[in-house]
Amino acid sequence: MKRSSKLKSAHPSKVAFLWDEAFLWALMSYKALQASGLPFDLIGSEDIRQGTLKDYSMLFVPGGWASNKLKALGSDGVSEIRRFVQAGGNYLGFCGGAGLATIDGMGLLNVKRKPTRERVPSFSGRIRLNLKGHPMWDGLREIEGSVPGGVSSNIFQAWWPSQLLIEHSDIEVLATYGQALQDAFSADLNVGDIASNGSWAELEKVYVINLDPARLRDEPAVLEGRLGKGKVILSLIHFDTPDDHNGSVVLKNLWQYLAGEKAKRGRHGNHRERAPADSGSSRDATVDKVYELEAMVQDLISFGMRNFLWFWRNRILLQWRRGVRGLEYCTLYAMVKEIAEIIRLRPSAVLNDNAAALELGESIDTIGRQLGPFVNDAKRLLFLERLSMQSGYITYEKCNDRAVESIRTELFSNSKSHGGLFKNLIDEIDRVLFGLIRRAEKTARVQ
């Protein structure tokens, strides 16, 4: 496949970032791209349906449940993306964004996801990649004498990825999985600990899922293909992981390769602004309520930690014990914290406009009415799940305790993807956060 790092498309050199149905993963990507000084515009599915992609050269889709992304886009949104790529626009998808582009989703590439029973469904953490020559790997440096905690040019991070089956010879594999590092996990099992003290084969009988990271060896991790005139790169690796030097290098290369965009100085930092001078009692009340929401989610995370149900892997992701839905809880925590952070550090983005401040206050009230009962029920559920771990077989889907099953169904539904009361709550939080970030971006550009 002939490549050039120069953009040859007739499309403007701009990147669209599809926020919808990514939640935690959208926030993680947003922060990583900002830290790397990479330009982008946040858009939603409705923007795509309205034809906004004509203004861009590249569409970036972060992680998240591909099935939910597909529903949000609808048939019109999918058609717009396919037309965009066929006409010369480029597509970059990470994890769930990669799954969205497969035959199971929009069909941008002739690639399938492996059946769940054949995957290693719960791998997370650092893993070596076998890299094939490509501009996206430019500038990576091997550090002499690198140790498990150091930086090496072929070490990256994956977070509960799918696995892909290539259905067409024109698709090029840019990286395959190598050896998992000792600080990685499969389910709630540390790779290094099992290598020293256990047997993956025996544990797979207990967990009734594939666990051994060696099953990933030589499987595709990053792919490139074409649809019409457009390039499509799909990655099961999260180059947007917080504080990942290698990931940042690759992100910059991808922006240059797919959009002709170079990294620039960050558009704004986390500087603290003074609260607006005309801040009234209703605005102060809204700020106080946001901090109350922040305290609620912090208390929920603390509850799980003191009950030995999870710990932090990095600034945004938890590692949780098998049997609880840790991803939902750290998603809730991270997104509410980000709302509070925007209001704490950049109040002019939302509090200088009376109409926007009023709308925010109403939205925060709506979230508060849902979050309080949700947190209380979640604590009760987590406590019961902890007790069930002591007495029998439990996964996040199955438990013999009827009380556990009842609360789980109400909070999360029976779906593996987000559902139940959690989905209603996180949708509202996501809507507010998306609006705040867009307003903050607009304010920063004016300043």
438 vs 60: CA distance, rounded Å: 17
Lowest mean pLDDT among 47-61, 106-120, 284-298, 385-399: 385-399
The span from the CA of 169 to the CA of 226, in Å, is 12
Q: What is the pLDDT of residues 298-347, one digit of tens each?
A: 999 999 999 999 999 999 999 999 999 999 999 999 999 999 999 888 77
Q: What number of residues does the chain have?
A: 447
Q: 53 near 78, Cβ under 8 Å?
A: no
Full DSSP string of 168-198: -TTPEEEEEEEEEPTT-EETTEEHHHHHHH-
pTM for this structure?
0.92
- Tokens for 382, please give them: 């987590």
Q: What is the pLDDT of residue 283?
A: 73
**72-81, 147-156, 194-203, 237-246: least confident range:** 147-156
309, two tokens: 């149900």
Name the phi and psi angles at 140, rounded to 5: -75, 135
Closest CA to 339 of 434, 205, 425: 434
Instruction: Give CA–CA dist 134/7, Å, rounded.
Output: 15
Per-residue model confidence as pLDDT tens digits over 142-195 = 644 444 444 568 999 999 999 999 988 899 999 999 999 999 999 999 999 999
Provide the pLDDT for residue 152.
Answer: 61
For range 21-37, the mean pLDDT: 97
Please list the alpha-helical segments (H only) found in 307-353: 326-345, 348-351
> Is the separation of the CB atoms in 439 and 350 below 8 Å?
yes
CATH topology of domain 15-259: Rossmann fold (3.40.50)
Residue 6 has pLDDT above 60, yes or no: no
Lowest mean pLDDT among 283-292, 398-407, 437-446: 437-446
List pLDDT tens digits, range 253-277: 999 999 998 877 544 444 455 555 4
pLDDT over 60 (residue 446): no
- The predicted pLDDT at position 445 comes to 62
What average pLDDT does range 23-46 have in this prediction? 97
Task: Using the predicted structure, report yes or no on whether residue 397 has a pLDDT greater than 90.
Answer: no
- Proportion of the chain in helix, strand, coil states, percent, rounded to 5: 50, 15, 35
pLDDT at 8: 42
8 Å CB contact between 32 and 248: yes
- In this prediction, residue 11 carries a pLDDT of 53
Name every residue whose Cβ is closer than 8 Å to that of residue 133 and which is 6 or more positions away in sequence: none
d(CA 244, CA 83): 34
Q: What share of the chain has pLDDT > 90, as a percent?
A: 77
